[in-house]
Amino acid sequence: MASDPRDSDRAPGPRHSDASPDPRDSRLIVLDMAGTTVADGGLVEQAFDVAARHLGVEPGSADHAEKLAYVRATMGESKISVFRHLFGDEAAARRANTAFETAYGELVDGGRIAPVPGAREAIEALQAAGRTVVLSTGFARVTQDALLDALGWQDLVPLTLCPADAGRGRPYPDMVLTALLRTGATDSVRRIAVAGDTSYDMLSGRRAGASVVAGVLTGAHDRAQLESAGATHVLGSVAELPALLGVV
């Protein structure tokens, strides 16, 4: 039988399957902080009130209600991006962001946060099983560091990321892809797992190509919101993630 002339044009190499990857194959785990691994009891809204007042937006006004609704809808997004949308010009956005980060940091320093139950244990179990865990946030670095210090998590994971570390925050894929580039934990985005409590976490994970994009119900958004944004799984909390990834 004559050979197919097209065979000579086929590049040698491994064949790739279109089958969905097994979650147990995940090697890089990118976790959100507030609402996912950290319980902050609504401190974002309290800090927003401070920032809004700083720019002359009075609580109880229609303007305040409209802006607060946007903050709730965009939980998980880079905070400076939120304030750019709300206040327009760059100078006003930066003033609001500075006031927000200062207020949030003071609330954190006042002992108003705690780990989500089972979060630290989940991170440690994943790392003990050879997975690389990265913590990411939509907050500025100064606020992320305040959270890590308050929890005693400074050395818990090998890498923590905020939007400034990656170029853009959520819903862009930059932080997830930066985690991959900096850790070298895997050779494929399909072996990344992302977990978070907001639609923006889900969008970021899907856009990065992660095969596991797990929503958790301990934070800002509900099951319907997480699924509509592309969640591949919805968990009660991050404490359930090790079992999903085959680590028990």
pLDDT digits (tens, 9 = 90+) for 187-244: 999 999 999 999 999 999 999 999 999 999 998 899 999 999 999 999 999 999 999 9
DSSP 34: B
Four-way CATH pick for 23-40+114-245: 3.40.50.970, 3.40.50.1000, 3.40.50.300, 2.40.10.350: 3.40.50.1000
Q: What is the pTM of this model?
A: 0.82
Report the distance separating Cα 116 and Cα 181, nearest Å. 28
DSSP 149: H
Q: Between 13 and 101, whose confidence is greater?
A: 101
pLDDT of residue 138: 87
pLDDT of residue 158: 96
pLDDT of residue 19: 58
Q: Between 107 and 162, whose confidence is greater?
A: 162
Q: Which residues fall within 8 angstroms of residue 228, CB to CB, at 6 or more apart?
A: 199
Q: Are 198 and 221 in contact (CB under 8 A)?
A: yes
Q: Are 141 and 162 in contact (CB under 8 A)?
A: yes
